[in-house]
Amino acid sequence: MNEIYRGRLAPSPTGYLHLGHARTFWFAAERARAAGGTLLLRNDDLDAVRFRLDFVDAMVEDLRWFGFVWAEPMISQSARRDRYRAALERLHAANLIFPCTRTRRDVIEAAGAPHEGGADDEPIYPPQFRPPADAPLPPLGEKISVNWRIRVPDGEAFDFHDENLGDQRAVAGRDFGDFLVWRKDDTPSYQLACAVDDAELSITEVVRGADLVKSTFRQLLLFRALGWSPPKFYHAPLMVDTKGERLAKRHDALALRTLREQGVTPQEIITRFFPEDFADGPG
Ligand code: GLU
């Protein structure tokens, strides 16, 4: 039996959407359309510091203007905290996580070698900072005030077939280290929330930017730890500016609303900036 394709658009309301977002979402929409499936809209609003309510409204407005269609209602991560907490409790019960009181600076200093890679890259957590694997875990407590990390299985290779980039492999402990699953301000990490949502919302294919390939390995580890089978993945090529730099939110000139105010239409954007051959059908 063919499973019904279910994809998602997962913008973060921390700024205005720009051309790069539209391009990634367009890949997602085209893949869903070609497969005769549906798209969900997930509002990744867990970043309490950078979150702004007006960005949520702007994001929805910009997506509609562009012509994206999704199955209502929009799903906000802030409303799904209980789900993330339940997953955290399972990881805790399985003794797969540990509390970490090191600062980011401690980690960067001890990790030594500078790291390179995509935007989701972070230094490898120094193994000497880990508590012994058999140390009894303190309880999570109702309100969490310490960072919790998952212990990655050092030396183990994680593989997946990317629908765009082909076969991908990363080795735990070498390419990614013990990563945050919950923050000391009592919010779930992006990795945990994203894995829980993609599993529980029955997403069959995740389409997102190629800067998140390393996150995919982390999320694959979470899928396994939580006993879920992972979706497929399609990492879309990132859009770069004329200097070869990634488009970031600070490129306000390329914000969708700026383009709209200038009278640029979505069709012009598609014709001018998005790959020609893709619309004929992905993959
Ligand atoms: N909100 C995340 C981002 O914009 C979503 C990434 C994903 O699609 O998993 O980077």
Residue 109: CATH number of its domain: 3.40.50.620
What is the atom index within ligand 1 of the atom nearest the CA of 44? Answer: 1
199-242 per-position pLDDT tens digit: 999 999 999 999 999 999 999 999 999 999 999 999 998 887 77
Q: pLDDT for 160-183, tens place per residue? A: 999 999 999 999 999 999 999 999
Q: What is residue 247's predicted lDDT score, i.e. its pLDDT? A: 67
Model confidence band, residue 248 (pLDDT cutoffs 50, 70, 90): low
pLDDT of residue 283: 43
Q: State the pLDDT confidence band at 115, using cuts at 50, 70 and 90.
A: low
Does residue 186 surpass a pLDDT of 80?
A: yes
- Paired tokens of 130: 């880990």
Q: What number of other Cβ atoms are within 10 A of residue 32's Cβ?
A: 24
Residue 86 domain-assigned (yes or no): yes
How many domains in the chain?
Answer: 1
Burial group, residue 277, by CB count within 10 angstroms (0-12, 13-18, 19+):
exposed
- List the domain range (segments joined by +) for residue 65: 6-278
Asked if residue 283 belongs to a domain, the reply is: no
What's the gap in Å between 166 CA and the centre of ligand 1?
20
Express each pLDDT in 17-51 by its tens digit: 999 999 999 999 999 999 999 999 999 999 988 99
Would residue 140 count as lying in a domain?
yes
Let me know if residue 26 belongs to a domain. Answer: yes
Kindly report the protein residue whose alpha carbon is nearest to atom 5 of ligand 1: 10
pLDDT confidence tier of residue 95, bands split at 50, 70 and 90: very high
d(CA 139, ligand 1 centre) in Å: 30
Let me know the angle formed at the C-alpha of 280 by 277 and 283, rounded to the nearest 5 degrees. 80
Within 150-234, residue ranges assigned H as helices are: 190-200, 213-225
How does DSSP classify residue 266? H
Separation of CA 141 from chain center: 27
| Cα(253)–Cα(255) distance, integer angstroms | 6
* CB-based pocket (< 6 A), ligand 1: 10-12, 44, 194, 208, 212
120 phi, psi to nearest 5 deg: -90, 10
CB atoms within 10 A of CB 35: 19
Query: Of how many residues is the chain composed?
Result: 283
Is 187 a domain residue?
A: yes
Q: Determine the residue type at 182.
A: W
Q: Is residue 1 one of the residues assigned to a domain?
A: no
